[in-house]
Each structure stands twice: as C-alpha cells, then as structure tokens.
Amino acid sequence: MIFKTTISQTAFMLKKKETVCVFYVLFFIVIINFIGNVLYFQDRDILEMYQPMKLLLLSYNRTNWNATNTLLLIQLYPLLVVCPAGFSLAREYQIGTRFFLVSRLGNFTYLVSKYLSAFLTTMIIFTVPFLLEIILNCLSFPLSATGDLSNLSIYDSAYRIGVNHYFMKSIYLYSPCLYAVIGTLFFGAVSGLFGVFTVAVSSIKRVKYNIFLFLPVFVALNMSTILANGFPEEAPSIKWYDYVLLFNDELKSISFGLIGIFGLVLFLIGAICVSGRKDCL
C-alpha cells in the first residue's frame, strides 16, 4: 500500500506547475552553463583543455575560472529545493484532500508515503538536469583532458592537497566521470532530504501562509555560511555547499557532514512518529 501510494503521489507531484518550473529553471541554468563552456573552449587543444567534469554547473572547481552560474545556483538553491514537494502536505490540509486520503490509508501510511514521494520528487528534479549536463560534456569535450581550473599542475603539491579534500576522493582518482555521476546522485539525495524536511515541519506545525515554509531550509543553510565566518581559516568548513558540490577542495569534516545528515533523518523519523499519532479528524 505504501509503495503504490508513494508512486502515485510522486507521479502527481512531478506534474505540478511549481515542480515543472523548478526543473526548467535548473535546466535553463545548465544549458546556459554548457553553451558558455562550448563557446569558450571550442578549438582548444587537448593539452590545454580542462577535465570536462570540472566544467559542470555543480563543480565548485569552476569558481576558479567563472563562478557566475555556480554562485547563482548556490543563491537560488535554498528557495528552489522547497518548491517541488515542500508545500504538498500544507496544501492538502488547506483544500481538505488530506482527510479523504487519511480515511482511506490511515494517518501513518499517508504520512510515510507523503515523505517518500516528497523525497523522490525533489531528488528527481535536482538530479536529472545535472546528469544531462554530464552526458553533454562527455559528448562535447575530450575526456582524456586532465587540466584543473585553478591552473595548477597535477604534480603541484597545492593541487594534491586540494584533491585530498575532495569528498569521495578515491572515486575521483579512479574515474572523474563516475565521481561526477555519484556526486550528482548524492546532491539529489540531500536535496530530497531538504524537501522532506519542509514537509515534516508542515506536518508538525500548521502554517497559515505557505510562504513561511521557505524559512526552515533557507535559515538553516544560510546560517551555516554566516556562522562559518566566525571560525578560523584553518578550521574545517561548515558551509553547506562545501559538502554537496563536486570537486570542492575546501577543508571539510566528513564526520560533521554525516552527523548533519543523520540528525536530519532522525528529525524526519521523529516527525513521522509525532504526526502519525495525531487524530486527523
């Protein structure tokens, strides 16, 4: 029952206007980024060419050359990640369809399927455009190119130190393309958790205006960047994008990232337990 309900709700959410709009916004930025890369690097000799995966929109490494598109994504992300599924539960409260669904499925089953469908919907929207860019880059640029956008030699000690700071470094050393695919899926999964987080907040506390549902994720992510300014430079980064963007050479604490994800998952489980016991009628 949960599986079938999750699939049907996911299919419904993927067709909503706000979901489609977010997809096209991300796809538009991806295409702008890709076209810019093609125009700039056309006819470039392979020896002077950068590793194609480092030109991706999700690549933090490209900020060494042209940060415009990636920084735009970083600025928009806290708002965009809420839109595909974050309002779904609150809207069903408001129009009354929740009571009909709960009467058929039960409150707990309804909430679990809602959380899962919110996760899948958000993950799909925040994965597919970037996977398409990986395919486009593989077809358009020489995969044998090894250049780094910092213009450091691969034998430079500063370059090696930066690579050691990559999340999933061993996968990158094995295959940059595989690293990009897995990193993109990880980015989508984290986005899915943020989407569910908004749903969980709305299941615990009803809000009169849906615009307030932007606040939890927006505040949490921006607080990580604000608080990071108070840490010494040699301390591991706590900025959210240092943990989800590809080819990020900032010093980071993997334990901190895992604790953050684990804490978020625990909150979601707790929200299901608390909300699932509520009498909806």
pLDDT bucket at 231, cuts 50 / 70 / 90: confident
Residue at 128 is within a domain:
yes
27 phi/psi in degrees, rounded to 5: -65, -40
Total number of domains constituting the chain: 1
**For position 206, what pLDDT does the model report?**
80
Name the DSSP letter for residue 49: P
pLDDT at res. 278: 60
Q: Please state, rounded to an integer, the average pLDDT across all residues of the chain.
A: 91
Q: Is residue 250 part of a domain?
A: yes
The one-letter code for the residue type at 176 is P
150 domain-assigned: yes
Residue 171 lies in a domain: yes
Q: Would you say residue 235 lies in a domain?
A: yes
Per-residue pLDDT band at 229 (split at 50, 70, 90): confident
**Run of H or E residues at 272:** helix 254-276
**pLDDT of 97 higher than 90:** no
Whether 18 is in a domain gets the answer yes
pLDDT at 266: 95
C-alpha–C-alpha distance, residues 186 and 41, integer Å: 28
Question: What is the domain extent for residue 169?
Answer: 2-276
Average pLDDT over residues 116-135: 97
Query: Is residue 218 included in any domain, yes or no?
Result: yes
Domain presence at residue 281: no
Identify the bridge partners of residue 50 per DSSP, sorted by sequence position. Answer: 147
Report whether pLDDT(158) > 70.
yes
The answer to whether residue 120 scores a pLDDT higher than 60 is: yes
The residue-averaged pLDDT of 237-266 equals 93
Q: Binning pLDDT at 50, 70 and 90, where does residue 281 land?
A: very low
Whether 58 shows a pLDDT value over 80: the answer reads: yes
- What is the rounded radius of gyration, in angstroms, for the C-alpha atoms of the chain? 20
